[in-house]
Each structure stands twice: as structure tokens, then as C-alpha cells.
Amino acid sequence: MNYETWSPVYERILADFGFDRESDERARDVLADLTEPFDLGQLDASGETVAIAGAGPSLTDPDHPERPAELDRACDADAVFAASTAADHLRDAGVGVDCMVTDVDKNPETARELTREGTPVAVHAHGDNVPAVREWVPRFDDEWVLPTTQSRPVAHVRNVGGFTDGDRAAFLADHLGAAELRFVGWDFDDPDVDPVKAKKLAWAERLLRWLELRRDERFDVLDGRRERIEAAFDATDVADERL
């Protein structure tokens, strides 16, 4: 993702949520100070089918009727990129995780363990998580930390696109050359999320619609949702990458 392409989208996210750009930039700089450059060759996904795992009920609820099929779809992929707590549920079910994408707000112990096992963790810094970044990132094995930001990238901190952990995992896989993205554990209509999370999920599906247009791909997770997405968000903006 080129930052000049991402920047107008970022501006709209800032305006919609009332986030502060300078806070994001300060967080980015803290993360830069705590990390070293990450070798993207350790996470090459060129030509691969990558499962993008979210932490929705279809993955996290052991009694959910769709869970066995979701786990099978993850197992059948060439690589699995897990958003936040999805990593725990996959590992508990015996499914390997090739990358965890997190802003260290829920399960930092898992992120630490993965880096110490030699599994890359894409750590995201933003204006609201600086204390967690300061506390946890120094405990990770630095060789396996990929630092990311949603603001302008600096030094070795990358901006691959994306806003939530889940859609950022998809943008990361795209950045790394994935041939196909497969979505498991995604539940946009989860009734148990709070209003802020619901708003973030609305942005996630909007960003995934943008990404599938950029990739000329159809994400099954958006089936039955595209018309509503484009009614809520100007379809012209989506098509010409201004969202």
C-alpha cells in the first residue's frame, strides 16, 4: 500500500472517529524506538492462499455450527494470518498461525509467546495504546516483530493499509503478495459488540470492499453485503479509491 493512496482514507477515519493524528504519530515514534527493522522475507506470501482469521463467534464459540468448517478452511490455506484473539482460538484447536496482527490490547501474552517461537507478529501502534506498546513490545523477540502504523510510515515502521486488526491482516497479506484471501471467523453482524466496535466493523467491511476492488477479487465474506456497503458509502468513492 502506497501511503499517498492510503492517506485520504486515513483522513476520513480520523474525522469519523474524532481521532488525533498527532497521537497516532507519537505512538508510531514510540514503536519505532522500541523495535528494529523486520525482514519481510520471513513472511513472504507470494502466490499463496492466506486465511484471514477474525475473532467472531463462528470461530470462538465452540458450539457454533459453522466452527468446524471455519477451522477446516483455515487448515486448508497455505498460511494463516490471525487477528488478535483469533490466534488463541486457532492454536487451541490445533491450527497453526503464521502471523498474528494485533494492537496488543487483548492478549499480549500470546503475541510474546509467538515471537519467542519464531512466528511474526505485526504490532500496531495508535494513539490509544502507547502504554501497552511500552509495556509489552520490549518483552517480545524483536526479530519477529513487524511494526505498523496507520499514519505516515517512518524509518522501519510500515503502513500496509487497514484499520482494525482483521482488515489490516488482509491488507498485510495483500502487501506480501498473497494470490487469494480466504476469510474465516468473520461475523460483521455480531449482536454482542458495543456501538464503537460495530462502527469499526462497518469500516472493516468498507475497507475490504475497497481491497477486493483493488485486487480484482471477490471475498466471500462480503457476499450479500456489497449493495448495502455501497449504499452507505458512496460507491464512486470506493471505485476510484477515495472511499
Share of the chain above pLDDT 70, in %: 96
CA-closest candidate to residue 159, choices 17, 20, 14, 32: 32
How far apart CA 176 and CA 87 sit, in angstroms, is 19
E strands present in 61-102: 79-83, 99-102
Residue 192 pLDDT level (bands cut at 50, 70, 90): confident
pLDDT score for 190 = 84
pLDDT score for 217 = 97
User: Structure pTM?
Assistant: 0.95
| Average pLDDT score over residue span 128-139 | 98
The x, y and z cell numbers of residue 149, run together, are 502504523
- Domain-wise residue ranges, the chain: 3-239
**Which residues face 53 on adjacent strands?**
82, 184
